[in-house]
Amino acid sequence: MLALSHVDSFYDRSHILHDVSLDVPDGQVTAVLGRNGTGKTTLLKTLMGLTDRMDGQIRLGDQEIGREPTFRRARAGIAYVPQGREIIPDFTIRENILMGSFARADGKREIPPLVAELFPYLMNNLDRNGGVLSGGQQQQLAIARALAANPRIILLDEPNEGIQPSIVEEIEQVIIRLNREIGLTVILVEQNVSFARNAAHRFAMMEKGRIVAAGEISELTDAMVHRHMAV
């Protein structure tokens, strides 16, 4: 479904991604792994058109999107849940979710029934401000906002970071369910190798802005993890 070919990406004069090529199969979870500072977040931002400059190609199906603005990529079906969630604290839960619907290609402005099914707490508290929610609840809200865009692909940047342990497993199960039951294609940036092995079909290991290994998740060995992720 999604393919990067010889992609270089920049912030001003800083060259972050180097000759990145990656295929993301339709209907699968692809885990992007690596130490902090290796370019994982920049990879997701490059897919969304949020870096200063990009060379190379990004294709979504038959469409070349590497030169499209961010809003067109969103309307083409890519939703992004950023690291830190970036919800608007003074907006209500309802308003935060509905923000995602502005990326819908069909123009509908609604909270999807799936959000009510996955996150009943949010639906029971739609008039609460997002800023008063816990970290785990804000992550639920960020995922709900992404789902309101009716995406084909969802990009998740370390979705369990800074979340209380009691909600981590719940978030993980939601991500697996979105893929296995709903059929969403997922690109998951993750430090938790055990979760990646449980959730993902494929992996890509990053080091210094390059993909140094990729393949089926069964090919992700402990030796590879130690070499590229151990501190």
Would you list the domain boundaries of the chain? 2-229
Q: Is 193 left (phi over 0), alpha (psi -120 to 50) or beta?
A: alpha
The answer to whether 75 touches 22, Cβ cutoff 8 Å, is no
Q: Quick one: pLDDT at residue 141?
A: 97
Mean of pLDDT values over 133-160: 95
Q: Is 151 left (phi over 0), alpha (psi -120 to 50) or beta?
A: beta
Express each pLDDT in 11-24 by its tens digit.
999 999 999 999 99
Q: Quick one: pLDDT at residue 162?
A: 83
Q: Quick one: pLDDT at residue 164?
A: 84
Of how many residues is the chain composed?
Answer: 231
Q: Using CA atoms, how far apart are residues 41 and 189, in angstroms rounded to an integer?
A: 7
Q: Any idea which of 44-53, 130-139, 156-165, 195-204 has the lowest mean pLDDT?
A: 156-165
Pick the CATH number of 2-229 from 3.40.50.300, 3.40.47.10, 3.40.1210.10, 3.40.50.1820: 3.40.50.300
Q: Quick one: pLDDT at residue 94?
A: 98
**Residue 91 gets which letter from DSSP?**
S
- If one compares 15 and 107, the residue with the highest pLDDT of the two is 15
Q: State the pTM of this model.
A: 0.94
Mean of pLDDT values over 33-52: 97
- Using CA atoms, how far residue 15 sits from 18, 32, 53, 78, 204, in Å, is 7, 19, 9, 24, 20
Residue 181: how many CB atoms within 10 A of its CB? 9
Residue 100: how many CB atoms within 10 A of its CB? 26
Instruction: Concatenate the DSSP letters of all residues of 179-216 into one string.
Output: HHTT--EEEEE-S-HHHHHHH-SEEEEEETTEEEEEEE
Q: What percentage of the chain exceeds 90 in pLDDT? A: 92
Q: Using CA atoms, how far apart are residues 204 and 151, in angstroms rounded to an integer?
A: 22
Q: Quick one: pLDDT at residue 1?
A: 85
Nearest alpha-carbon partner for 134 in 101, 93, 173: 93
Average model confidence (pLDDT) for the chain? 95
Residue 167: pLDDT band (50, 70, 90) is: confident
